Amino acid sequence: MRRVGIIAAGESKFGARVGMEYEELFVEAFLEAMGQVDNLESKDIQEAFVGSLAFGGSQLGNMSALVVDSVNLIGIPASRVENACGSSGYALRYAIMSIASGINDIVIAGGVEKMQDISKATRLYWFGVAGDIKWERLSGMTFPGNYALMATRHMKEFGTKKEALSSVAVKNHDFASRNPKAQFQRKITLEQAMNAPIVAYPLNIYDCCPITDGASCVILCDLEIAKKYTDTPIEIVGFGAGTDHLALYQRESITRIDAAVKASKMAFKMANLQPKDIEVAEVHDCFTIAEILAYEDIGFCKKGDGGKMILDGETTIHGRIPVNTGGGLKAKGHPIGATGTAQIYEIFKQLRGEHENQVHDATIGLTHNVGGTGSACTVTILRRV
Amino acid sequence: MAHVSIPKYWKALPQKYRLVAGKCSNCGELNFPPTTLCKKCGQENTQKHIELKGKGTVYTYTIIGRGGAPPEFAKMQKKCGPYAIAIVELEEGLKINVQLTDCDPFKDVNIGMKVSAVFRRIYEQENVIRYGLKFRPIIE
């Protein structure tokens, strides 16, 4: 297997990008990435993997052609990868595999989602498409509702407090307040986070990620030739993935996400590293409870101690493992299909020492990207070369 | 709307009306709904259909706040307000996802609460009222 490096990463501004189309958002991300490399032309890119749910259904078929056309890459093999909120994490996985296997030398992986400019009814419909429809959805269940079920049980089994959930939101808003690309560039107080209107008890509006337009991409290449394009490539030293039952009620446990546990183990084994070696991480905090589950599933803390970990401040900038320094899905925003590679964008910047919320001298980072309510997950470990 | 066509809903009526599960004659596992391959042992076409009793306890729950219901439940929520959804652990040992009814979601519902199935109108689509089971507290 060949070693794989990331030579560039780009991201559009996240938020309500009213009037912007998929392809325009992707161009923004692409141009930022291309601006970071020397001696690389569009024509050197051999294949594209694009993550998207095609939220709202506006370009449900053959989106990859639309996207590669927008950045003048038409002609190369391209495909849309769909695993709900885990789409671009999986797009990245296939991009890595195509280089590791020797089939390609330089590829692009990314994602794009357009969630604004859509009626409320259409939006509510699309929020439910990634869950089990026949049983969960048709009991009146919603997407936040599923994570709420996990939260209620976690609180019961481990004594996790609402304050812990809200503290995740406070931390991620704080990080986002210094990220010029974040959807919410403002801090919130614990009191605000605790007392907001209920969406799906015990989750309130501040426990939920926003509705976001955005795109992200990374350019990967065979590590052997990476220095030709940049002095500071970042190596992908481990990558894992997993799946679980689509419906929550069918799973063995709902206080952990097994797909994430499996993906983490696979990634750590490949990297020959342990959770304690990680210095900075971006985890999938679509809801605040999801970040707490991520700490436990990845192995940053013991099962059940996720609430304690946030309350002890271990994941703030001064903590043991700063988490979601870009603001997370919660405050930076969650353009579904773009999130996986948007997480890589943050870690890439951290490991090159270019981040707004820089973790001092970080050399090893991790991303954790979950699809649906945990039915698919990818974990990627990156290291400064 | 989450679209489940009339033929598809019709096919699921044994589960929606009577909680018909598939008990594997090879390993004893209960599959709900019944499957071609047993979820536990993987054997093909070994499941005998049995009716679950429709009694159990609340394993976990949530309350869907005002305005948060999916489109097919918006009308119901407008009329009745927030409603509770639970994963119920049935007496037979398996879990299902259901809507709770005949209770105040904020005051009455808790983990461990005993509930039983009741036949109710679930929602309407394609001009057909879809009936099925909700669960309500057992008053002892």
Are A269 and A374 found together in one domain?
Answer: yes
Q: How far is A142 from chain B (nearest CA, A)?
A: 6
**Are B65 and A139 inside 8 Å of each other by CB?**
no
**pLDDT at A290 > cutoff 60:** yes
Query: CB-based contact (8 Å) between B60 and chain A?
Result: yes
pLDDT digits (tens, 9 = 90+) for B39-55: 999 999 999 999 999 99
Residues A167 and A189 sit within 8 Å (Cβ to Cβ) = no
Q: Which residues of A touch B60 (CB under 8 A)?
A: 149-150, 152-153, 156, 254
**Encoded tokens for A88:** 């671009």
- Cβ neighbours of residue A37 closer than 8 Å, sequence gap 6 or more: A7, A8, A219, A229, A230
Report the distance separating Cα A32 and Cα A246, nearest Å. 36
How would you class A184 by CB atoms within 10 Å of its CB: exposed for 0-12, middle for 13-18, buried for 19 or more? Answer: buried
Nearest CB among B62, B69, B122 relative to A201 is that of B62
Q: Give me the percent of chain B exceeding a pLDDT of 90.
A: 78
Helix pair A162-176, A288-298: axis angle to 10 deg: 100
**Encoded tokens for A138:** 């048709």
**Are B97 and A135 inside 8 Å of each other by CB?**
yes
Does residue B113 lie in a domain region? yes
Report the distance separating Cα B122 and Cα A79, nearest Å. 39
Higher pLDDT: A128 or B32? It is: B32
Are A99 and A186 found together in one domain?
Answer: no
Does residue A129 lie in a domain region? no
- Mean per-residue pLDDT, A110-133: 87
Does residue A124 lie in a domain region? no
pLDDT at A122: 85
Q: How far is A241 from chain B (nearest CA, A)?
A: 21
Does residue B13 lie in a domain region? no
- CATH of residue B78's domain is 2.40.50
**Are A124 and B65 inside 8 Å of each other by CB?**
no
Are A152 and A179 found together in one domain?
Answer: yes
Q: Which residues of B touch A253 (CB under 8 A)?
A: none
Are A245 and A263 found together in one domain?
Answer: yes
Question: Nearest to residue B9, comparing CAs of B122, B130, B103?
Answer: B130
B81: left (phi over 0), alpha (psi -120 to 50) or beta: left
Nearest CB among B12, B61, B83 relative to A134 is that of B12
Using the 8-state DSSP alphabet, how is residue A288 labeled? H
Side-chain-side CA neighbours of A221 within 13 Å: the count stands at 20
Order across the sheet with B20-24: list the strands.
B30-31, B20-24, B47-51
**Are A140 and B130 inside 8 Å of each other by CB?**
no
pLDDT at A302: 98
Give Cα B71 distance to the centre of its chain.
Answer: 19
By C-alpha distance, the chain A residue nearest B58 is: A153
- Mean per-residue pLDDT, A141-151: 95
Q: Which residues of A touch B17 (CB under 8 A)?
A: none
Report the distance separating Cα B25 and Cα B37, nearest Å. 12
Does residue A353 lie in a domain region? yes
Count of domains observed in chain A: 2
pLDDT at A131: 80
Are A96 and A144 found together in one domain?
Answer: no
Chain A interface test: which of B40, B87, B94, B126 (most A C-beta within 10 Å): B87
Report the distance separating Cα A303 and Cα A310, nearest Å. 14
- CATH of residue A326's domain is 3.40.47.10
* Cα three-residue angle A71-A234-A365, rounded to 5 degrees: 115
Range(s) of the domain holding residue A87: 4-119+212-234
- Mean per-residue pLDDT, A341-366: 98
By C-alpha distance, the chain A residue nearest B88 is: A249
Does residue A125 lie in a domain region? no
- By mean pLDDT, which of A158-162, A333-337, B129-133 is the weakest? B129-133
Beta-ladder partners of B60? B87
**pLDDT at B1 > cutoff 60:** no
Of A199, A234, A269, at which residue does a domain stop? A234
Report the distance separating Cα A375 and Cα A132, nearest Å. 10
- Mean per-residue pLDDT, B77-97: 95
Question: Nearest to residue A212, comparing CAs of A366, A11, A59, A71?
Answer: A11
Does residue A151 lie in a domain region? yes
Using the 8-state DSSP alphabet, how is residue B110 labeled? -
pLDDT at B4: 79
**pLDDT at A22 > cutoff 80:** yes
Coil, helix or strand for A12? coil
Residues B118 and B99 sit within 8 Å (Cβ to Cβ) = no
pLDDT at B8: 84
Q: With the CA atoms of A87, A88, A93 and A98 taken in that order, what torsion angle do they form, in degrees rounded to the nearest 10?
A: 110
Q: Is the dihedral of CA A147, A150, A155, A156 positive or negative?
A: positive
Instruction: Kindly indicate the confidence band of residue A71, based on its pLDDT and cuts at 50, 70 and 90.
Output: very high
**Distance between the two ends of chain B, CA-based, in angstroms?**
38
- Mean per-residue pLDDT, B70-85: 91
**pLDDT at A126 > cutoff 90:** no
Q: Which residues of A touch B123 (CB under 8 A)?
A: 138, 140
Instruction: Kindly indicate the confidence band of residue B2, based on its pLDDT and cuts at 50, 70 and 90.
Output: low
Does residue A167 lie in a domain region? yes
| A210 preceded by a cis bond (ω within 30 of 0) | no
Report the distance separating Cα A299 and Cα A14, nearest Å. 30
Q: Which residue has the tokens 């900075």?
A: A280
**pLDDT at B132 > cutoff 70:** yes
Are A85 and A156 found together in one domain?
Answer: no
pLDDT at B85: 97
Does residue A130 lie in a domain region? no
pLDDT at B68: 85
Question: Nearest to residue A251, comparing CAs of A222, A279, A293, A211?
Answer: A293
Are A172 and A99 found together in one domain?
Answer: no
- Mean per-residue pLDDT, A273-277: 98
pLDDT digits (tens, 9 = 90+) for A178-215: 999 999 999 999 999 999 999 999 999 999 999 999 99
Residues A79 and A50 sit within 8 Å (Cβ to Cβ) = yes
Q: How far is B139 from chain A (nearest CA, A)?
A: 23
Are A223 and A294 found together in one domain?
Answer: no
- Mean per-residue pLDDT, A282-299: 98
Pair type for strands A214-222 and A106-113: antiparallel
Are A101 and A152 found together in one domain?
Answer: no
Report the distance separating Cα A133 and Cα B127, nearest Å. 19
Instruction: Kindly indicate the confidence band of residue B140, based on its pLDDT and cuts at 50, 70 and 90.
Output: confident
- By mean pLDDT, which of A226-230, A331-335, B123-127 is the weakest? B123-127
Count of domains observed in chain B: 1
- Mean per-residue pLDDT, B84-109: 96
Chain A interface test: which of B60, B66, B96 (most A C-beta within 10 Å): B60
**pLDDT at A236 > cutoff 70:** yes
Report the distance separating Cα B76 and Cα B122, nearest Å. 9
Are A59 and A103 found together in one domain?
Answer: yes
Residues A230 and B63 sit within 8 Å (Cβ to Cβ) = no
By C-alpha distance, the chain A residue nearest B101 is: A139
Q: What are phi and psi of A52, to 5 degrees?
A: -165, 145
Q: Give me the percent of chain A exceeding a pLDDT of 90.
A: 92
pLDDT at A133: 78
| Averaged pLDDT of chain A | 96
Are A228 and A242 found together in one domain?
Answer: no
Q: Which residues of B touch A150 (CB under 8 A)?
A: 60
Does residue B29 lie in a domain region? no
**Encoded tokens for A207:** 């426990």
**Encoded tokens for B117:** 């199935």
**Are B68 and A136 inside 8 Å of each other by CB?**
no
Range(s) of the domain holding residue B66: 54-137
**Are A121 and B71 inside 8 Å of each other by CB?**
yes
**Encoded tokens for A40:** 């690389």
Q: Which residue has the tokens 């709420």?
A: A148
Are A228 and A281 found together in one domain?
Answer: no
